[in-house]
Amino acid sequence: MIRRHIVEFGLTTLFLRGALIAVLMWWAGNYSTTVATAMLILVLLGSAAGTLISNILLSWLIIGLSTIGIAILMMGYVVMTIPIKIGLLLAFPVCASLTTLSRSILSAWVGIDRNCSEINSYVEHYDQITKLHTKYNAQKIYKKALRFVMEDQCDSQWLNITAIHWSHNRQIRQFHKRAYNEMLRKIAKVLKDDRLPSEALYYIGHGTFLIISFNLTKQTYDHRNALTRQSLQKLKIGQATPQFKWGTKYINKDNAAKFPELKEIIRHLNRDMEADLIVEYMKEDNANG
């Protein structure tokens, strides 16, 4: 929205500057060739000064030249009508000011484009709601960790990849955006509180969180998952308890070659999460029966 307004204002300023130059030259052309030539020179000097000179120097230049022009045209003996004298006096400062304004707007436009690029890069790496890194960073860390799993000759290395998906999050997002964002923050806080500092946490979008655990023993990993499940079960959105699907994958040297990219892992985790949801529904049916 801001960018659009700046562009519109900049185009309007450029149009006014062009229209003013056209009007001044047409007006001066109705008089002698000398007046038209003087007007052309002043317009060109004003445009050049507004483009090349800094604002402070331009202000002093306008004051100095205007003073000299008033002294020559108004106080000296120049056979010329008052309106054309005023037009010649205003040609330089007005053209210079409009050119400077156009230059400032264009600079701001370029700055917004550069800032937008930086902001987009930041958003690509860091989710603003959960304050967690995104899928882009998860891919980079996974590749680096996988290299150690496959190539380290000294010790046996392994990874545990965990996905936690908030079921029915899209319906909540569609009708209750604020509650949706708040729930994402709560889930992220649970992960930050319950997972170990050595575990990498990511939000990969659409209500799905990813945890990359490096070299955790099975006992420690299972204990962390149990604590996380308990904490997530305590969350509430309104009066309802959100449901979560879980998917896990153990990666070691034996199967690492099958998952060279994070997208293969995510595809496998999605299948696990669908199966996990079916199991939860079966448990609820048995409990109700």
Q: What is the pLDDT of residues 40-51, one digit of tens each?
A: 777 777 777 777
Q: For residue 202, give the CATH number of its domain.
A: 3.30.70.270
Residues 13 and 152 in one domain: no
Residues 97 and 220 in one domain: no
Residues 56 and 159 in one domain: no
Percent of the chain at pLDDT > 70 equals: 77
Residues 64 and 203 in one domain: no
Residue 45 CA to residue 21 CA, distance in Å, equals: 12
Residues 20 and 56 in one domain: yes
Residues 76 and 156 in one domain: no
Residues 58 and 140 in one domain: no
Residues 109 and 141 in one domain: no
Number of domains composing the chain: 2
> Would residue 272 count as lying in a domain?
yes
Residue 226 CA to residue 230 CA, distance in Å, equals: 6
Residues 164 and 80 in one domain: no
Percent of the chain at pLDDT > 90 equals: 33
Residue 32 in this model has a pLDDT that exceeds 90: no
Q: Tell me the backbone φ, ψ of residue 157, rounded to 5 degrees.
A: -110, 150
Which range has highest mean pLDDT (49-58, 145-154, 230-239)? 230-239
Residues 103 and 143 in one domain: no
Domain range for 143: 135-288
Residues 148 and 284 in one domain: yes
Residues 187 and 261 in one domain: yes
> Would residue 129 count as lying in a domain?
no
pLDDT at 7: 56
Which pLDDT tens digit goes with each residue over 106-122?
666 655 555 555 555 55
pLDDT at 201: 96
CB atoms within 10 A of CB 105: 18
Cβ atoms 130, 185 nearer than 8 A: yes
In the predicted model, what is the mean pLDDT of the chain? Answer: 79
> Would residue 130 count as lying in a domain?
no
Residue 244 CA to residue 208 CA, distance in Å, equals: 9
Nearest to 202 by CA among 131, 132, 270, 140: 132
How are beta strands 159-166 and 208-214 bridged, if at all?
antiparallel
Residue 247 CA to residue 49 CA, distance in Å, equals: 66
pLDDT at 2: 47
Q: Tell me the backbone φ, ψ of residue 250, rounded to 5 degrees.
A: -100, 125
Of residues 182 and 277, which shows the higher confidence score? Answer: 182
Residue 242 CA to residue 206 CA, distance in Å, equals: 15
